[in-house]
Protein backbone atom coordinates (compact mmCIF):
# COMPACT_ATOMS: atom_id res chain seq x y z
CA UNK A 1 0.00 0.00 0.00
CA UNK A 2 1.07 3.55 -0.58
CA UNK A 3 1.91 5.10 2.77
CA UNK A 4 0.43 8.43 1.72
CA UNK A 5 -2.47 7.02 -0.31
CA UNK A 6 -3.86 4.83 2.46
CA UNK A 7 -4.19 7.71 4.96
CA UNK A 8 -7.81 8.86 5.31
CA UNK A 9 -8.62 12.56 4.83
CA UNK A 10 -10.68 13.96 7.70
CA UNK A 11 -12.89 16.90 6.75
CA UNK A 12 -12.70 19.78 9.27
CA UNK A 13 -15.82 21.51 10.57
CA UNK A 14 -17.51 23.61 7.91
CA UNK A 15 -16.08 21.62 4.99
CA UNK A 16 -18.21 19.27 2.89
CA UNK A 17 -17.24 16.94 0.08
CA UNK A 18 -19.27 15.27 -2.65
CA UNK A 19 -18.08 12.52 -4.97
CA UNK A 20 -19.70 11.87 -8.34
CA UNK A 21 -17.79 9.08 -10.08
CA UNK A 22 -14.25 10.39 -10.48
CA UNK A 23 -15.23 14.03 -9.87
CA UNK A 24 -14.58 15.30 -6.34
CA UNK A 25 -16.05 18.62 -5.15
CA UNK A 26 -14.99 20.17 -1.84
CA UNK A 27 -16.85 23.18 -0.38
CA UNK A 28 -15.77 25.23 2.61
CA UNK A 29 -15.81 28.72 4.12
CA UNK A 30 -13.29 30.09 1.58
CA UNK A 31 -14.98 28.68 -1.54
CA UNK A 32 -15.29 25.45 -3.49
CA UNK A 33 -12.93 23.40 -5.67
CA UNK A 34 -13.65 20.61 -8.13
CA UNK A 35 -11.20 18.09 -9.57
CA UNK A 36 -11.48 15.00 -11.74
CA UNK A 37 -9.36 12.14 -10.40
CA UNK A 38 -7.55 9.67 -12.68
CA UNK A 39 -10.04 7.08 -13.99
CA UNK A 40 -8.47 4.13 -12.12
CA UNK A 41 -8.69 5.72 -8.66
CA UNK A 42 -11.82 5.44 -6.53
CA UNK A 43 -12.71 7.97 -3.84
CA UNK A 44 -15.27 7.19 -1.14
CA UNK A 45 -16.95 9.46 1.39
CA UNK A 46 -17.85 7.90 4.75
CA UNK A 47 -19.27 10.49 7.16
CA UNK A 48 -16.60 13.19 7.30
CA UNK A 49 -13.73 10.96 6.10
CA UNK A 50 -12.60 10.62 2.46
CA UNK A 51 -10.57 7.58 1.43
CA UNK A 52 -8.90 6.81 -1.89
CA UNK A 53 -8.42 3.25 -3.16
CA UNK A 54 -6.57 1.79 -6.12
CA UNK A 55 -7.46 -1.24 -8.26
CA UNK A 56 -4.08 -3.04 -8.24
CA UNK A 57 -0.48 -2.90 -7.04
CA UNK A 58 1.00 -1.78 -10.36
CA UNK A 59 3.61 0.97 -10.03
CA UNK A 60 1.41 3.34 -12.04
CA UNK A 61 -1.52 2.76 -9.70
CA UNK A 62 0.68 3.17 -6.62
CA UNK A 63 1.85 6.57 -7.91
CA UNK A 64 -1.66 7.72 -8.78
CA UNK A 65 -2.94 6.53 -5.39
CA UNK A 66 -0.67 8.87 -3.41
CA UNK A 67 -1.17 11.69 -5.91
CA UNK A 68 -4.97 11.48 -5.80
CA UNK A 69 -5.04 11.46 -2.01
CA UNK A 70 -2.69 14.46 -1.82
CA UNK A 71 -4.72 16.43 -4.37
CA UNK A 72 -7.91 15.93 -2.36
CA UNK A 73 -6.11 16.82 0.90
CA UNK A 74 -4.81 20.04 -0.72
CA UNK A 75 -8.35 20.90 -1.82
CA UNK A 76 -9.64 20.40 1.73
CA UNK A 77 -6.88 22.57 3.21
CA UNK A 78 -7.42 25.24 0.54
CA UNK A 79 -11.14 25.69 1.15
CA UNK A 80 -10.69 25.67 4.93
CA UNK A 81 -7.55 27.81 5.50
CA UNK A 82 -6.27 28.85 2.05
CA UNK A 83 -2.71 29.17 0.74
CA UNK A 84 -0.27 32.08 0.83
CA UNK A 85 3.11 32.65 -0.79
CA UNK A 86 5.21 35.74 -0.14
CA UNK A 87 7.70 37.33 -2.54
CA UNK A 88 10.24 40.01 -1.73
CA UNK A 89 11.68 42.52 -4.16
CA UNK A 90 15.31 43.59 -3.75
CA UNK A 91 17.06 46.32 -5.69
CA UNK A 92 17.40 50.09 -5.67
CA UNK A 93 14.14 51.59 -6.95
CA UNK A 94 12.45 48.20 -7.33
CA UNK A 95 8.87 48.18 -6.04
CA UNK A 96 5.35 46.85 -6.49
CA UNK A 97 2.16 48.93 -6.64
CA UNK A 98 -1.46 47.81 -6.24
CA UNK A 99 -3.72 48.30 -9.25
CA UNK A 100 -7.38 47.31 -9.86
CA UNK A 101 -6.33 44.48 -12.21
CA UNK A 102 -3.51 43.15 -10.00
CA UNK A 103 -0.09 44.74 -9.46
CA UNK A 104 2.44 46.88 -11.31
CA UNK A 105 6.10 45.94 -10.90
CA UNK A 106 8.90 48.46 -11.32
CA UNK A 107 11.96 46.23 -11.52
CA UNK A 108 14.61 47.95 -13.61
CA UNK A 109 12.98 47.81 -17.05
CA UNK A 110 12.17 50.92 -19.11
CA UNK A 111 8.49 50.32 -18.36
CA UNK A 112 6.42 48.98 -15.45
CA UNK A 113 5.35 45.34 -15.79
CA UNK A 114 1.64 44.58 -15.28
CA UNK A 115 0.74 41.34 -13.50
CA UNK A 116 -2.93 40.47 -13.75
CA UNK A 117 -4.47 38.36 -11.00
CA UNK A 118 -6.35 35.34 -12.38
CA UNK A 119 -9.75 34.41 -11.01
CA UNK A 120 -9.49 33.07 -7.46
CA UNK A 121 -6.13 34.73 -6.73
CA UNK A 122 -5.61 37.83 -4.60
CA UNK A 123 -2.38 39.84 -4.94
CA UNK A 124 -1.61 41.91 -1.84
CA UNK A 125 1.20 44.49 -1.68
CA UNK A 126 2.03 44.71 2.04
CA UNK A 127 5.01 47.04 1.59
CA UNK A 128 6.47 48.29 -1.71
CA UNK A 129 8.97 45.42 -1.56
CA UNK A 130 6.74 42.60 -0.25
CA UNK A 131 4.01 40.93 -2.35
CA UNK A 132 1.73 38.19 -1.05
CA UNK A 133 -0.17 35.78 -3.33
CA UNK A 134 -3.30 34.28 -1.72
CA UNK A 135 -5.88 31.78 -2.91
CA UNK A 136 -7.61 28.46 -2.27
CA UNK A 137 -6.01 26.50 -5.14
CA UNK A 138 -2.46 25.45 -4.20
CA UNK A 139 -1.39 24.90 -7.82
CA UNK A 140 -2.63 28.29 -8.96
CA UNK A 141 -1.03 30.15 -6.02
CA UNK A 142 2.33 28.51 -6.79
CA UNK A 143 2.02 29.15 -10.53
CA UNK A 144 1.19 32.87 -10.11
CA UNK A 145 4.05 33.29 -7.61
CA UNK A 146 6.45 31.62 -10.07
CA UNK A 147 5.26 33.88 -12.90
CA UNK A 148 5.80 37.00 -10.77
CA UNK A 149 9.28 35.76 -9.80
CA UNK A 150 10.12 35.11 -13.47
CA UNK A 151 9.58 38.80 -14.32
CA UNK A 152 13.00 39.53 -12.75
CA UNK A 153 14.62 36.46 -11.12
CA UNK A 154 17.35 37.21 -8.57
CA UNK A 155 20.76 37.61 -10.17
CA UNK A 156 23.85 36.15 -8.46
CA UNK A 157 26.15 39.21 -8.47
CA UNK A 158 24.20 41.86 -6.58
CA UNK A 159 21.16 39.79 -5.56
CA UNK A 160 18.71 42.16 -7.25
CA UNK A 161 15.37 40.78 -8.37
CA UNK A 162 12.22 39.09 -7.10
CA UNK A 163 12.62 36.10 -4.78
CA UNK A 164 10.51 34.02 -2.44
CA UNK A 165 10.68 35.09 1.21
CA UNK A 166 13.41 32.98 2.79
CA UNK A 167 14.95 31.95 -0.55
CA UNK A 168 18.74 31.86 -0.47
CA UNK A 169 20.49 33.25 -3.53
CA UNK A 170 24.07 32.07 -3.84
CA UNK A 171 26.27 35.06 -4.60
CA UNK A 172 29.20 35.04 -7.03
CA UNK A 173 32.35 37.13 -6.88
CA UNK A 174 32.56 39.81 -9.54
CA UNK A 175 35.46 40.50 -11.85
CA UNK A 176 38.80 41.32 -10.26
CA UNK A 177 40.95 44.13 -11.58
CA UNK A 178 43.83 43.28 -13.95
CA UNK A 179 47.35 43.72 -12.59
List the domain range (segments joined by +) for residue 137.
83-164
87 and 153 part of one domain: yes
pLDDT reading at 179 higher than 90: no
CATH code of residue 104: 3.90.930.12
pLDDT at 175: 85
106 and 146 part of one domain: yes
Pick the last residue of a domain from 24, 51, 80.
80
For helices 59-80 and 138-151, the axis angle rounded to 10 degrees is 80
CA atoms within 13 A on the CB side of 43: 29
93 and 116 part of one domain: yes
Q: What is the CA radius of gyration of the chain?
A: 21
pLDDT at 16: 93
Mean per-residue pLDDT for 92-107?
94
Cβ atoms of residues 87 and 145 within 8 Å:
yes
Cβ atoms of residues 51 and 75 within 8 Å:
no
What pTM value is reported for the model?
Answer: 0.89
Q: What total of structural domains would you count in the chain? A: 2
pLDDT reading at 1 higher than 60: no
| Residue 132, C-beta contacts closer than 8 angstroms, at least 6 positions apart | 84, 85, 86, 87, 123, 124, 125, 126
Residue 178 included in any domain: no
Mean per-residue pLDDT for 144-173?
94
pLDDT at 39: 87
108-137 pLDDT per residue, tens: 999 999 999 999 999 999 999 999 999 999
Amino acid sequence: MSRIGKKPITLPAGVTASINGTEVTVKGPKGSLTRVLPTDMTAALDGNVVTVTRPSDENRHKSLHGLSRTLIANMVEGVSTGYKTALEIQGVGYKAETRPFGINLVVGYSHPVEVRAPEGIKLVVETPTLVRVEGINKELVGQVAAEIRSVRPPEPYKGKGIRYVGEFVRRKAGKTGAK
